Amino acid sequence: MNIDIVIPLLAATVQSGTPILYATLGEILTERSGTLNLGVEGMMIVGALGAFLTAMFTGSPTLAVLVGGLSASLLGSLHGLVCFHFMGNQVVSGLALTILGTGLANYLGTPFVGRSAPGFDPLRVPILENIPILGPILFRQDILVYASLLTAIGVWFLLTKTRWGLHIRAVGEHPEAARTTGLNVPLLRWSALVLGTFLAGVGGAYLSLAYTHLWTNNLTAGRGWIAVALVIFAFWRPGRAVFGAYLFGGVMAWQFRLQATGTTLPSSLLMMLPYALTVIALVMASRGRGVREAPAALGVNVEPAD
């Protein structure tokens, strides 16, 4: 393979991995606190629509990202209400929110299908962009790509170096014990959920503002679910999430390029690749330490105290 083909491919890899990275980081935060959120797909697409509409009507992509994140957090709050206060089953609630979120985005977005909105364009980092190979891949991207890498570091820092992170992990491992030591379990879980779903919304916003710039129904195409799978693949760690997201971004980018070159393989079969890879990644994670690294109280609700 020629280097002139590989570099654009790797740049596209980073681009298509970024929305998945945001969603995966958000889900890592949420799951570390013991909350299983299966509504990521719904929250991503609601974030994508919120961001798209804001950008279209205000012309400000920055405001749009904020609104995208907030609209996902709003949907995520329903999960918090149902699971933390009404003791609903976390699996079912998450599924319901994916169904609800996809419905909402397709319902409210139908009049805007095919319309475009101002979004993010590549922002060259001076000096760094001239580094051979690495420069064109990493430093001629849009600002949300850089922000996603900072977010990964931020999530790692929050979880491992701060008091809040310690509390979050305690709540995710043993909520009853955490409560006995005086921690406010619902509040901690709420904070992780709101922040985590905000990131899922930013991932959605990336899709409608930077990846495509226009609105189509079912924009997320399962990326939210891939993010949930990547959390397991990443053993709940932000660093491995970056690796996983770019792995999937690579497969998606490669599959699109291959379609464009007009191979004899039917496009449906090529489109299967990311989903098949998800299954393979999960199988691999299960053979390693994968499942054992899950927060012990993942998906378990805390009974109200008398």
Partner 1 sequence: MTTFRVKRRQAPLTWGACLVLVGGVVLALGASGALLALQGKSPAQGLVLLLTGAFGSVWALEDCVIKAIPIFLCSLGVAVTFRLQIWNIGAEGQFALGAVGATWAALTFPDLHPALLLPIMFSAAALAGGFWGFVPGVLRAGLGVNEIIVTLMFNYLGILLMEALVYGPWKDPASFGMPMTPLFSNGATVSAISEGTAIHWGVVVCLIVGAALSIVFRFTRLGFVLQACGENVKAARYARFPYRRLIVLVMAVGGVLAGWAGLMEASATVGRLQPSIMAGYGYTAIIVAWLARLSPFRIALASFLLAGLRVGVENLQLELQVPAAFGGIVEGMILIFVLAAGFFSTYSLSLIRRP
Does residue 286 belong to the site contacting partner 1 (CB under 8 A)?
yes
DSSP 286: H
Between 89 and 212, whose beta carbon lies closer to partner 1?
Answer: 89
Tokens at residue 37, please?
């959120």
Q: Could you give the CA distance from residue 139 to residue 135 in angstroms, rounded to a whole number?
A: 5
What is the nearest approach in angstroms of partner 1 to the Cβ of residue 247? Answer: 15
Taking CA atoms, 227 is separated from 39, 161, 249, in Å, by: 11, 24, 11
Q: Which residue has the tokens 């299954």?
A: 279
* Nearest residue (CB) to partner 1, 96 versus 242: 96
Q: How far apart are CA 284 and CA 277, in angstroms?
A: 10
Residue 187 lies near partner 1 (rule: CB under 8 A) = no
**Where in 61-80 is the site for partner 1 (CB under 8 A)?**
78
- φ, ψ for residue 116 (rounded to 5)? -120, 160
Q: In the complex with partner 1, which residue's Cβ is closer, 163 or 287?
A: 287
CB of 228 to partner 1, least distance (A): 6
Q: Which stretch binds partner 1 (CB under 8 A): 49-57, 195-203, 251-259, 279-287?
A: 279-287
Indicate the residue among 91 and 177 with the shorter CB distance to partner 1: 91
Give yes or no for residue 296 binding partner 1 (CB under 8 A).
no
Non-local (6+) Cβ contacts of 168 within 8 A are 29, 32, 33, 159, 188, 191, 192
Task: Tell me the one-letter amino acid at 37.
Answer: N
Round to whole Å and give the CA distance between 196 and 70. Answer: 11
Nearer to partner 1, 107 or 164 (CB): 107
Closer to partner 1 by Cβ: residue 140 or 179: 179
What is d(CA 85, CA 90) in angstroms, rounded to the nearest whole number?
12
Cα distances from 56 to residues 47, 111, 210, in angstroms, run 14, 13, 13
Binding residue for partner 1 (CB under 8 A) from 130, 266, 293, 296?
Answer: 266
Residue 263: CB minimum distance to partner 1, A: 13
What is the binding site for partner 1 (CB under 8 A)? 38, 78, 81-82, 85-89, 91-93, 95-107, 110, 217, 222, 225, 228-229, 232, 266, 268-269, 271-272, 275-276, 278-279, 282-283, 286-287, 291, 303-304, 306
